[in-house]
Structure 1
Amino acid sequence: MPTLILNHLAELDAATWDALVPADQPFLRHAFLRSLEDSGSVTPRTGWTPSHRLLADDSGNVLAAMPAYAKTHSFGEYVFDHGWADACARAGIGYYPKLLCAVPFSPVGGPRLLGEPQALALLLDKVEESLLEQGQSGLHVNFTDPAADATLQGRDGWLERLGCQFHWRNQGYRDFQDFLDALASRKRKQMRKEREQVAGQGFDFRWYHGAELSEAQWDFVYACYANTYAVRRRAPYLTRDFFSLLAERMPEAIRVVMAVQGGREVAMAFSLVAGDSFYGRYWGCLAEFDRLHFETCFYQGMDYAIAEGLQRFDAGAQGEHKLIRGFEPVITRSWHYLLHPGLRTAVEDFLGQERVGVLAYAEEARSALPFRQG
């Protein structure tokens, strides 16, 4: 069975790719991944060379696929291996380029290996065999789902890495007050006070679907998004064109909430919705306002999830500020196949120690959740 490498997702029609993608996975859709490429956000110039892998039968029918990228750095991945690369540089071992199976700039768990298990096993065999020929140090699969975990756990040479994120669960709340009633008194008062402080500054919040936003509003969304990088003196990962392309190609999945003060939009949060999940992705504000970040990014999203009957709010990487607002620790997994035997041994030892720390951190974090005991 032939294996194909796509250097642009436009080489494959959307229907063929999306037939392998579960309906509740917006980040894996052809429209999302192709918009990253067409907008210039994911290109060889930015260190992300599309190298998607397909397994087809003799008639050309695609049986399995992996969204994959040849990487010349480790930025935008959210599974941090910079230390591994630094150690390789000191030892004279080439770490880049490497092959990454992931959704660029999106620390969101989900399917990464698309297709039936038997076809995926064959595709993985062929990709592993091609690494040396391609001059790549290894293959990394980030933010996997249980199906990929089961596939990779049984394969020789693969190393599992744990991480921890924080997700909010809708326990059938009738409204935000119902959620507050589930909290310990002190935490309930803190959240109520935070929301009152924002309301006292004269803010209103307006929700939009992707098709409802004008290009001028998308300009504002992008300016807010880019500013979160500018304040850290970094260039944004995404280009302005990405937002317009995504709004054109999958508007039904997009949700944007605007914070409005005195009739003027001053902040925004950009999210995607699919299945029973709400995915908070980007936030930005062009001026500083007390507590506005918590309201726009978290409380508004929780309100929306409750009103729409969504069960899960995934707000991405990082977490302590989410933890005290009811976002519970969730273990994430990534998998790493490294060609250099010395590097593999060193990383395996490191991951064993890191695993203990991650599990202990997640357990300790649970004790800090704001819910009432009993």
Structure 2
Amino acid sequence: MSEGEIIARILHRAGDIAAADWDACAGRANPFAAHAFVTALEDSGSVSARAGWQPVHLVVDGAAGRPAAILPGYLKSHSQGEYVFDHSWADAWARAGQSYYPKLQHSSPFTPATGPRLLGDPALAPVLIAASEALVRQNGFSGAHATFLTPDDRARFEAAGWMPRHDVQYHWFNEGFAGFDDFLAALASRKRKVLKRERAEALAAVDGIDWLTGADLTEAAWDAFWAFYQDTGSRKWGRPYLTRNFFSLLSERMADRVLLVMARKAGRWVAGALNFIGEDALYGRNWGCSEDIPFLHFEVCYHQAIDFAAQRGLARVEAGAQGQHKLARGYRPVATTSAHFISDLRFRAAVADFLTRERPAVLGEAEALEAYLPFRAM
């Protein structure tokens, strides 16, 4: 696949590229774009053709033969683990007698966090996008989808004619806070009292909460968190996506970019939340527990994340998909963007019409939700 004389090749294993070469394209800002994270998913079997996430990475090599630009991609046989929901599109295309799957997905698997998709030289972004479209057309896929885009990548996909779609997440922003108490002081009195009461009840029910990162991420800690993850995954999705070995590989390959918040009670861990540390953000990912304790979910997932981010001087916390309950804890509604390429012109027109009608409703909701934030009036 090529644009002019520049050719993009297909790579089925991120591990076939040296970590230094991949990361030279990905940069350091976002942990989910890192070679360590992508290969941990693949090497652990969390991402595979069998799991419905077959790696199909598009690579453009530079003059020295090393990768100059990369568009990570996955051939999908379902729409699970994406957090941008297109099941209605799949159903509509099936009712028209067509097959929606397989489709091409450009995202970080199981990770609803904004991050770079077009890695490396921005001048080569049009080549990568054209290669994605060519892959769709040549193989008869229904389309390609790039989700949770940065503003720069959004502009590049839209310039190529991909259709934008918006959703709403909840992010906490650090307005010069040094810790959780500074954040509390910015809240309206009534809201502050509610959060303080919640925190007091949750913390009184456990013996302590640990921040585990780097060498503190032991196999015993992962065993405990794995049990939490299995329980949550089984109840929410029917099948947890990540294998146990994935978490061990995180310790081997990127322990300094992982934060595990674990609650202790009677000599054992009873709840935990997995976070990833970026250059300017903390990304909340998975939560689980072995004992239901009132308000402990809010404490471990949201309040501890705020405290950690504030103490580290991070600009924001991205707390994952969905959850209007985050508003009361100071997480602001933020519009996220994906971009979609549909091969069939008739189907593309139908999706475009749907997106035109959906967009003002989503953006209007994000604006309306601002009224429910707990901050003092300025």
TM-score of the aligned structures, taking structure 1 as reference length: 0.97
Task: Report the residue type matching 1:133 in the other structure.
Answer: Q
Partner amino acid for 1:316? G
Residues 1:102 and 2:107 aligned together = yes
Residue 66 in structure 1 maps to residue 71 in structure 2: yes
Question: Using a 3 Å threshold, how does the CA distance of structure 1 residues 42 and 356 change in structure 2: closer, same or farther?
Answer: same
| TM-aligned CA deviation for residue 115 of structure 1 | 2.3
Q: Unaligned 5+ residue runs, structure 1?
A: none
Cα shift readout 1:251-308 (whole Å, capped 9, x = no counterpart): 1101111101122211111111121211111111011111110011111111111222
1:320-374 alpha-carbon deviations (Å, 9 max, x no partner): 1111110001111000000011111111011111101111100110011001112
1:146 and 2:165 correspond: no
Q: Work out whether 1:322 is the aligned partner of 2:326.
A: yes
1:249-264 → structure 2 map (5 Å cutoff):
249-264=253-268
- The CA distance in 1 between the partners of 2:237 and 2:22, in whole Å, is 37
Instruction: Summarize the Cα distance change of 1:82–1:176 in structure 2 as closer, same or farther, 3 Å threshold.
Output: same
SS of 1:112's partner is coil
Displacement after TM superposition at 1:59 (Å): 4.6
Match status 1:6 vs 2:11: yes
Which of 184, 200, 221 in structure 2 is aligned with 1:217?
Answer: 221
Identity of aligned residues (%): 46
Q: 1:190 aligns with which of 188, 194, 208?
A: 194
Going from structure 1 to structure 2, the CA distance change for 1:57 and 1:311 (only over 3 Å counts) comes to closer
Distance in 2, matches of 1:351 and 1:201, equals 46
Q: Is the 8 A contact 2:129 2:160 kept in 1?
A: no
Q: Deviations over 1:202-242 (max 9, x none)?
A: 43111111421221221111111111022246110100000
Tell me the CA shift for residue 87 of structure 1. Answer: 0.5
The answer for the alignment partner of 1:273 in structure 2 is 277
Letter in 2 for 1:222: W
SS at match of 2:153: helix
Query: 1:226 is matched with which residue?
Result: 230
Q: Which residue of 2 aligns with 1:77?
A: 82
The answer for the alignment partner of 2:251 in structure 1 is 247
2: CA distance, partners of 1:261 / 1:177? 24
In the alignment, which residue of structure 2 is the partner of 1:125? Answer: 130
How many corresponding residue pairs? 373
1:176 and 1:68 map into 2 onto residues whose CA distance is 38
Match of 1:162 in 2: 166
Asked if the contact 1:2–1:58 (Cα under 8 Å) also holds between the matched residues in 2, the reply is no
Which residue number in structure 2 is paired with residue 115 of structure 1? Answer: 120
Whether 1:292 and 2:296 are equivalent positions in the alignment is yes
TM (norm. structure 2) is 0.96
Q: 1:198 Cα deviation (Å)?
A: 1.2
**Cα distance between partner residues in 2 of 1:329 and 1:234:** 28
CA displacement at 1:185 relative to structure 2: 1.4
Using a 3 Å threshold, how does the CA distance of structure 1 residues 63 and 198 change in structure 2: closer, same or farther?
same
Shift of 1:58: 5.8
Contact preservation (8 Å) 1:211, 1:248: no
2:201 partner amino acid: Q
| Aligned equivalent of 1:44 | 49
Distance 1:232 1:160, change over 3 A: closer
Structure 1, 348-357 or 126-135: larger mean CA deviation: 126-135
Where does structure 2 lack aligned partners over 5 or more consecutive residues?
1-5
Looking at structure 2, the residues matched to 340 and 134 of structure 1 have their Cα atoms a distance apart, in angstroms, of: 13
User: Which residue does the alignment assign to 2:359?
Assistant: 355
Superposed counterparts of 1:193-208, under 5 Å: 193-208=197-212
Q: Distance in 1 between matches of 2:275 and 2:65?
A: 36
Please give the per-residue CA displacement for 1:90-117, whole angstroms capped at 9, x wherever unaligned.
1112211111110000000011011223
